[in-house]
């Protein structure tokens, strides 16, 4: 299949262009002569970006499919401009066995909607004690994570890092000292982040820090990055959008922080210390949210939210936003995506940067409706999403 994407403004992490993009069999190639079989795609003067990659998502499958499943989650991802996600392992049963892992991978392949990578739990069934299940780790696993809780045992974390190095996989860490978080969640996050930054530095082991939310944690990450530690980190759209006055009303883990924390995260994005924007898309039923279940859906509105907070405000350029929503997370996940260069997969999102829209509950693709953005007017509506040149989503 040969395609020419034309009549658009194209941005990746470095370039801005009005040139046509040539695609052959789902991969960007150099210019070729158009023939009768070439598909010409008129992008109608929209903005074309590399499709987004989310390093932190909950699709609740298996075990909690009344909240979300792989199909509904994939539809929500496409609506948000995402063609690749990394799923967390706190399902039921947890992703601690080859059987559960292979079920998810096969189901994702059969759906053929987006690329789904699946973490394996650090400790068996998230028990915080056992690493023996890692001896039967499937070969295609890229990340280990106990997301939803931190690994509180210092020695076990040390052993898990050595195990991950031996297996050739990375760790994605939720940082929270459990016995402290009920008293002071800021210190609970900061203390464990400091520990694991030090471990990463001394053991020269790659660690990815999930949903960083405090000035203290981000300061530790900045310090150890400057020392050369092989660490990466993500922040969420809701920790960039909300702060002080909304803190007590919004149940999420980690919580919405103070304005000083939000402002510091934004400053670290500006300075290049934040590697990725990740949504922590966390579907819940209405009844569960009323009872205090932590987390919100966010994958459908992530780009609009970040475009408003970071680009329209003049804090960073659109190129820089592409870098932390597409280029960097694709690289971290080992994908051949995230740039508009020859040899990269033709995963594109077309956006109308000038169109404002109101996010309405009846338009949500996720099974769950627990969004912080319902009723808000947002900029930059996503119009179409292509995966390997195939149209996967169109705004209607």
Positions annotated as catalytic residues are 280
Phi, psi of 382, rounded to the nearest 5 degrees: -80, 125
HEC string for 294-338: CCCECCCCHHHHHHHHHHCCCCCCHHHHHHHHHHHHHHHCCCCCC
Axis crossing angle, helix 259-271 with helix 215-226, rounded to the nearest 10: 20
Beta bridge partners of 233: 209
Rounded CA gap, 159 and 170, in Å? Answer: 13
Long-range CB contacts for residues 313-320, cutoff 8 Å, separation at least 24: 315/266, 315/269, 315/270, 316/269, 316/270, 318/11, 318/47, 318/49, 319/11, 319/12, 319/13, 319/14, 319/15, 319/16, 320/13, 320/269
Residue 166 to residue 382: CA distance in whole angstroms: 42
């Amino acid at each position: 299949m040969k395609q020419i994407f034309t009549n658009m403004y194209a941005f990746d992490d470095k370039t801005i262009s009005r040139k046509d993009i040539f695609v052959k069999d789902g991969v960007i190639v150099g210019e070729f002569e158009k023939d009768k079989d070439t598909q010409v795609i008129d992008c109608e003067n929209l903005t074309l970006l590399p499709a987004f990659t989310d390093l932190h998502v909950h699709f609740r499958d298996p075990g909690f499919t009344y909240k979300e499943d792989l199909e509904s989650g994939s539809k929500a991802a496409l609506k948000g401009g995402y063609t690749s996600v990394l799923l967390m392992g706190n399902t039921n049963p947890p992703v601690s066995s080859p059987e559960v892992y292979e079920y998810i991978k096969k189901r994702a392949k059969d759906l053929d909607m987006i690329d789904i990578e699946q973490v394996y739990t650090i400790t068996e069934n998230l028990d915080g004690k056992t690493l023996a299940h890692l001896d039967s780790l499937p070969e295609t696993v890229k990340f280990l994570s106990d997301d939803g809780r931190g690994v509180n045992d210092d020695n076990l974390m040390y052993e898990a890092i050595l195990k991950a190095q031996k297996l050739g996989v990375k760790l994605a860490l939720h940082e929270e000292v459990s016995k402290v978080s009920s008293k002071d969640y800021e210190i609970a996050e900061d203390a464990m982040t400091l520990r694991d930054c030090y471990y990463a530095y001394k053991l020269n082991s790659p660690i990815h820090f999930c949903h960083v939310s405090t000035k203290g944690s981000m300061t530790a990450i900045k310090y150890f990055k400057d020392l050369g530690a092989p660490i990466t980190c993500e922040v969420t759209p809701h920790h960039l959008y909300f702060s002080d006055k909304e803190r007590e009303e919004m149940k999420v883990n980690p919580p919405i922080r103070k304005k000083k924390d939000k402002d510091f995260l934004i400053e670290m994005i500006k300075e290049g210390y934040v590697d990725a924007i990740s949504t922590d898309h966390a579907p819940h039923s209405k009844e569960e949210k009323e009872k205090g279940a932590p987390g919100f859906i966010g994958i459908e509105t992530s780009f609009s939210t970040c475009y408003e907070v970071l680009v329209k405000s003049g804090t960073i350029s659109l190129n820089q936003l592409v870098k932390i929503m597409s280029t960097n997370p694709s690289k971290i996940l080992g994908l051949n995506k995230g740039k508009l260069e020859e040899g990269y997969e033709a995963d594109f999102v077309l956006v109308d940067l000038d169109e404002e829209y109101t996010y309405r509950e009846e338009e949500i693709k996720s099974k769950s409706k627990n969004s912080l953005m319902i009723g808000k007017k947002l900029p930059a509506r996503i119009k179409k999403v292509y995966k390997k040149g195939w149209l996967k989503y169109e705004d209607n």
